[in-house]
Structure 1
């Protein structure tokens, strides 16, 4: 029983780590003074993409793991460490990024770009044989809630937490990857 609790807690931390990108983007979007209806829609679409992208990654990861064997656990852990490291480095990148309007195709592109790292994480998790339904529900819910929180907070705060949330998210991914590798 404690094994299931440990796995649940690990997946919960991972879901929130991946959702930190959505939180960061949400902070920036919230500063554009969006209406509450638009905030709700953006959060739902981001959540859906955080379900779809890791699902494709998990399926592909499971397919790969059947052919490769035990080395996939190591590769999955290394992949998570790499993604977490990239998040940490991008938090210190001070270049200005082009703002995409969160409407129509722009919303889809924005959601895709926020959730692309969850594809890679899904790939790594698919290789390690994690419970797919639990992961997808937690990834979607966490990213949706964190994007809503970020946008609502962004309406109040003007840019204080953006980089720090990416640093926290990257650190959690690195820790989870190390746990998988040495686990």
Structure 2
């Protein structure tokens, strides 16, 4: 794979993580660059490791994972989205503020849900002449940058939508999961 193909693949793999990061940033109380970089690093590491895992599994696991990847992403993103919507719709407690950061586990689960497609890409790269280490690093770096920027963009959206930013983030995650499912259930173009 050449540079343009690798860069395009890396950008494509980071787009759903970017959308999720906007929702994460909107749900926070004025996220700072430190939190945005932390979130970007968590997503970037996960998104960079999943193609390596997919590549290692290669031909043996690709048919099994490919058959279920869209359902796994749909369920994980849907559950996370529903939880965010529930929290966004709950009555604020006296003096309740938005959190300053999300838990590592919440970020890691969202990162895993948005990186299942990278697992499949890694499995596919096992069959072509591609430098998997370079490709995985490019995907991880692109995701790091896109997620960091997404959190900071969400910061501005959070100021606009106020307390219900968590609701917006949940809707974004459910939409991403639904689009992944819809895309995979479409009949192949002949």
What is the TM-score of this pair, normalised by structure 2?
Answer: 0.61
- List 4+ stretches of structure 1 deviating above 4 A: none
Q: Which residue in the other structure is 2:35 paired with? A: 38
Q: Which residue in the other structure is 2:22 paired with? A: 27
Cα distance between partner residues in 1 of 2:10 and 2:51 = 11
- C-alpha distance after superposition, 1:51-109 (max 9, x if no partner): 11110101222x55xxxxxxx9xx8xxx6xxx89xx9x9xxx9xx53339831322222
Cα distance between partner residues in 1 of 2:7 and 2:83 = 31
How many residues get paired? 149
Q: Which residue in the other structure is 2:116 paired with? A: 116
Which runs of structure 2 are paired with 1:13-162 in the superposition (5 Å)?
Answer: 13-33=8-28, 34-61=31-58, 64=60, 97-99=82-84, 102-157=102-157
Any conservation in 2 of the 1:102–1:110 contact (CA below 8 Å)?
no
- CA RMSD in angstroms, aligned pairs only: 3.9
Cα distance between partner residues in 2 of 1:11 and 1:18 = 11
SS of structure 1 residue aligned to 2:130: coil
Cα distance between partner residues in 1 of 2:11 and 2:82 = 23
